[in-house]
A and B are shown apart, each in its own frame.
Chain A
Amino acid sequence: MHTLSLYDIKHGLLGRKFSSVEATRRFLDRIAKHSHWNAFITVCEESALRAAQLSDQKIAAGNAGPLEGVPIALKDLFLTKGVRTTAGSKMLHNFIPPYESTVSQKLLDAGAVVLGKTNMDEFAMGSANITSHYGPVVNPWSRDKKLVPGGSSGGSAAAVAGHLCAAATGSDTGGSVRQPAAFSGIVGLKPTYGRCSRYGMVAFGSSLDQAGPLTKTVRDAAIFLGLISGHDERDSTSAPEPVPDFESFVGKSIRGMKVGLPQEYKMEGMSEEIIDFWKSGAEILQDAGAEIVNVSLPYSKYALPAYYIVAPAEASANLARYDGVRYGFRADGRSLREMYENTRADGFGEEVKRRILIGTYVLSAGYYDAYYLRALKIRKLIRQDFASVFEKVDILLTPTTPTSAFAFGEEPKDPVTMYLNDVLTVTANMAGLPGISVPIGLDRSGRPLGLQLIAPHFMEGLLLQTGSVLEKGANFPVLEEAA
């Protein structure tokens, strides 16, 4: 049962093949059994079982919600009322939110059972889930060597890939849903900026952050996305766009669709293996009737450096509220200034501090024009790049990551090389476009790889339509019992 997709679990529950309590119990047991993966920061055993019981009653009474009784997990930056929310940081080690995030509330309203809060890079800053205050997460695909699951939604990716839940939420600022999905052999979708409410999500880069599902199948992503989408008056940047029936796009023919392969995404030093998978992905789509076209996105090469100015700049302001005054961690000091300094020195980890410093620097008088302002200009050019490409093609196909998951100890030691993990995913965030990562195969060392699709604004349906064709053609293996 635990290897079933969200769709199958949903229908299994409705068809009374198993109860929600049984499913919940099974996942809770698996979470305990695989606690060495460290996928969860907080497990909500009691409340999950209670919710499962209620769901079983609702199913029996015939008034099941669209996700009634389905056990899921939430990345630990979605605020959950009464349940500790840490964002992977010591800074929020004791923070129990008094309100619920819009995304998690929508899932609760749909009947989902929340198993717990998943591990993540601290404040979503990281690409390997090694910056969490609560320890690193292990990729369930690890064999001889312990692999990272990717980040920052590494806990959610591991939980879904390792069958610890039916699906999970993630958040994607520069690739934090798609990259761990690719590393962990699952589907990860970043919706259009504004598709989902950011209310109640711990903010990292406000103009880039989007919630998104991590799921086992493209259909699951469609179901999940439909539930968490929609305008929210509490988030002025959420779009008043109608939410289509995303599931209806799954399995639809792509005959006649034009798929672009952006040549700039062929990175220097990218392995032949990845390029081969990219080609085979294109062939799958071609075989299904799509036309493959080489396209150019010339400003893509500036996306990563510009991203690493914009995101830290916003983060430097977003994280200013963690000052030890009102909630969260506080270190004592003999003066206000010392209290601030001690709190932020002890409460934040190295990567977070690094990005706050970068962000503070690029916004400083005398540097603003040279860094932040230029990054904004590049961002505009990247948007224009995509806009003109989408006049020629319907959708873009790229690798999700330049490499497969790396082993602990083998991760890049300097931050800038580490940041290269996001090079293929940040462009979508910079342009606010929707993207999806779909597993395409295993490399020679048995590590999963994913391909990314990028569509025009609010065309997630196209991602799901094309993604489902890719998924079918790739025939990616389900991870059976792992180490």
Chain B
Amino acid sequence: MDRIETTGGKWEVVIGLEVHAQIISNSKLFSSASTKFGIAPNENVSFVDAALPGVLPVMNSFCVDQAIKTGLGLNGNINLVSLFDRKNYFYPDLPQGYQISQYKHPLVSGGYIDIEKADGSVRKINLERIHMEQDAGKSIHDQSATKSFIDLNRAGVALMEIVTKPDMRSAEEASIFLRKLRSILRYLGTCDGNMEEGSMRADLNVSLHLPGTELGTRAEIKNVNSIKFLAAAVVFETARQTEILESGGIVEQETRLFDSATGETRSMRSKEDAQDYRYFPEPDLPPLVLDPARIEAIRRTIPELPDAKTTRLQRDYDLPSYDAAVIASEMEIANFYEEALQCTGSGDKDVAKMLSNWLLGDLFSLLNKHGESIGNSFVSPKDFAELIMLIKTDVISGKIAKDVLEIMWKERKRSSDIVEERGWRQITCPNEIESVVQKVLEEHGDKVTEYRNGKEKLFGFFVGLAMQRTQGKANPQLLNEVLRKLLTEGV
């Protein structure tokens, strides 16, 4: 091949995403019904959601605030006037026969997210728009051979549709983008980002072209409900389209469905079958007109977001950029870290670094082992801070601390209690250590002679024995000092 190898061979893959993010709100976009998840079917259904005759939508202003917050958090322009439209189609889980959405005049225009790739390079992914719309209900087809069931609990729940420009060039970029978007939404508290429960769903547009030429025909891929699947869908689709193009074929504009069982996409409908949604302005809702003061008030509620937090963690605590980025990548991790750091009561940068090492190392592997997220950690930030300070103040060694952490998880106890109960307090009295070391050396006179004759490797042997005698409680530094002294000075 005469072209550089990219993800798609000589072809460059171009990806755009349409992310549906469910707005965190107690009630639906246009009705007062609850949005609680996991409740019995059709429990959260008002007359409006069921589209009884005569009902009218009433805007939930909290949902609007949430969408504005999202727009600001994603660097978008909030439009002071936006309009709602009806998107018409028939389906049993769409009671009105139309979805109320924003078509020509969305709430937010533009915006961007910077993503950092594994190689450290940063790419700006631009957003086209963010608009608000109502979700449909759910059709359940697998309960009966002859009947379908409808659950309208989700019908009318508020969604934000976040549409990117076709700015991503690989599965990696798309995955990082989606992860970062989810992280920001969680920081903002506007979407819980839970893809398994469907509160965040992504459709992606994938096309191939030769770099420097105009964009190719895209396929829209639906039903991608995890970041892993997103990457899989891009890889599959890239391969599929490459094969078509390499064999001189033409990529059809179509909607394809991702099958998570096979990791493949399959055609759902072609362009000819594309629905005509007959959008027109929603006459039941006046234009959404925003007061700039409202937007400014919302702007003031936006918390520190991942990029700013990463920079601050590096600056204030000298954390390496990788550590800072990992901590800032999820609000729960960042909150845990900062709360624990505060509990240490220490302004010492060493403590900050130790805390980061222990969090990203030992506590993370413990969480992984138990399949828990940081939000569900049995070790609280306060207890974790105490553990770190026990190490820092030489009450226990780092080695003992690993065991203490395991026990903290298992028995839900504080580290100081565990250390006291088990008498694991580090021996820091030089005399005590000296007497142990002396004993060890006495018992292994031959080895001492060997050591003194140049077999210095035996130093570790003596350390091991002394540690054994103290059940590992000897302060390692002190032990080393005493041992070295006695070995050189003679017994």
| Partner-B contacts on A (CB < 8 A) | 77, 79, 85, 87, 92, 95, 97-99, 101, 198-203, 205-207, 233-237, 313-314, 316-317, 319-321, 323, 325-327, 336, 340, 360, 363-365, 368, 372
- Tell me which of B86, B92, B276, B278 contacts A325 (CB under 8 A): B92
Q: Is A363 a contact of B280 with CB atoms below 8 Å? A: yes
Q: Is A237 a contact of B92 with CB atoms below 8 Å? A: no
Nearest CB in chain B: distance from A301 CB, A:
24
A-B contact pairs, 15 of them (CB 8 A): A95-B53, A199-B54, A199-B56, A201-B54, A203-B53, A206-B284, A234-B58, A236-B57, A317-B98, A317-B280, A323-B90, A323-B92, A327-B52, A364-B278, A368-B280
Nearest CB in chain A: distance from B156 CB, A:
13
Which chain A residue lies CB-closest to B278? A363
By a CB distance below 8 angstroms, the chain A residues around B285 are 236-237
Q: Is B98 a contact of A365 with CB atoms below 8 Å? A: no
Nearest CB in chain B: distance from A117 CB, A:
13
Q: Which 8 pairs show the lowest CB-CB distances between chains A and B?
A: A320-B97, A363-B278, A206-B283, A207-B283, A200-B54, A321-B51, A202-B53, A79-B54
Nearest CB in chain A: distance from B48 CB, A:
9
By a CB distance below 8 angstroms, the chain A residues around B57 are 236
- Tell me which of A79, A237, A325, A336 contacts B286 (CB under 8 A): A237
Which chain B residue lies CB-closest to A373? B280
Q: How far is the CA of A87 from the CA of B47 in the complex (A)?
A: 18
* Chain B, range 144-177, C-beta contacts under 8 Å to A: 148, 150
Nearest CB in chain B: distance from A207 CB, A:
4
- Given A236-B57, A236-B58, A325 contacting B95 (CB threshold 8 A): yes
B50 within 8 A of A: yes
Q: Is B98 a contact of A236 with CB atoms below 8 Å? A: no
B486 within 8 A of A: no
Q: Is A360 a contact of B51 with CB atoms below 8 Å? A: no
Q: Is A372 a contact of B59 with CB atoms below 8 Å? A: no
| Partner-A contacts on B (CB < 8 A) | 47, 50-59, 86, 88, 90, 92, 95-98, 148, 150, 276, 278-280, 283-286
Q: Is B283 a contact of A199 with CB atoms below 8 Å? A: no
By a CB distance below 8 angstroms, the chain B residues around A234 are 56, 58
Nearest CB in chain A: distance from B287 CB, A:
11
By a CB distance below 8 angstroms, the chain B residues around A95 are 53
By a CB distance below 8 angstroms, the chain A residues around B278 are 316-317, 360, 363-365, 368
Which chain A residue lies CB-closest to B59? A236
Nearest CB in chain A: distance from B267 CB, A:
20
Q: How far is the CA of A113 from the CA of B436 in the complex (A)?
A: 102
Nearest CB in chain A: distance from B380 CB, A:
45
Number of A-B residue pairs, CB cutoff 8 Å, is 96
Nearest CB in chain A: distance from B276 CB, A:
5
Q: How far is the CA of A321 from the CA of B54 in the complex (A)?
A: 11
By a CB distance below 8 angstroms, the chain B residues around A316 are 88, 278
Q: Is B55 a contact of A97 with CB atoms below 8 Å? A: no
Q: Is B150 a contact of A325 with CB atoms below 8 Å? A: yes
- Tell me which of A87, A236, A368 contacts B53 (CB under 8 A): A87
By a CB distance below 8 angstroms, the chain A residues around B54 are 77, 79, 97, 101, 198-203
Q: How far is the CA of A372 from the CA of B104 in the complex (A)?
A: 15
Q: Is A321 a contact of B96 with CB atoms below 8 Å? A: yes
Q: Is A336 a contact of B92 with CB atoms below 8 Å? A: yes
If A199-B54, A363-B88, A368-B278 are given as contacts, then 5 extra A-B residue pairs at C-beta distance below 8 Å, sorted by A number, are A99-B47, A234-B56, A237-B283, A313-B280, A317-B86
Which chain A residue lies CB-closest to B94? A320
By a CB distance below 8 angstroms, the chain B residues around A327 are 52
By a CB distance below 8 angstroms, the chain B residues around A314 are 280, 283
Nearest CB in chain A: distance from B42 CB, A:
10
Q: Is A92 a contact of B53 with CB atoms below 8 Å? A: yes
Q: How far is the CA of A101 from the CA of B55 in the complex (A)?
A: 9
Q: How far is the CA of A92 from the CA of B52 in the complex (A)?
A: 11
By a CB distance below 8 angstroms, the chain A residues around B284 are 206, 236-237
Q: How far is the CA of A321 from the CA of B88 in the complex (A)?
A: 11
By a CB distance below 8 angstroms, the chain B residues around A201 are 54
Which chain A residue lies CB-closest to B274? A365
Q: Is B52 a contact of A320 with CB atoms below 8 Å? A: no
- Given A236-B286, A340-B90, A79 contacting B53 (CB threshold 8 A): yes
Q: How far is the CA of A99 from the CA of B46 in the complex (A)?
A: 11
Q: Is A372 a contact of B280 with CB atoms below 8 Å? A: yes
- Given A202-B54, A326-B50, A365 contacting B276 (CB threshold 8 A): yes
- Given A317-B88, A317-B97, A325-B95, A233 contacting B53 (CB threshold 8 A): no
- Tell me which of A320, A360, A363, A365 contacts B96 (CB under 8 A): A320
Nearest CB in chain B: distance from A121 CB, A:
16
Which chain B residue lies CB-closest to A200? B54
Q: How far is the CA of A319 from the CA of B53 in the complex (A)?
A: 9
Q: How far is the CA of A325 from the CA of B91 in the complex (A)?
A: 9
Q: How far is the CA of A58 from the CA of B230 in the complex (A)?
A: 69
Q: Is B58 a contact of A233 with CB atoms below 8 Å? A: yes
- Given A320-B96, A325-B150, A235 contacting B280 (CB threshold 8 A): no
Nearest CB in chain A: distance from B165 CB, A:
24
Q: How far is the CA of A233 from the CA of B57 in the complex (A)?
A: 10
- Given A317-B98, A320-B88, A85 contacting B53 (CB threshold 8 A): yes
Which chain B residue lies CB-closest to A203? B54
Nearest CB in chain B: distance from A94 CB, A:
13
By a CB distance below 8 angstroms, the chain A residues around B90 are 320, 323, 340
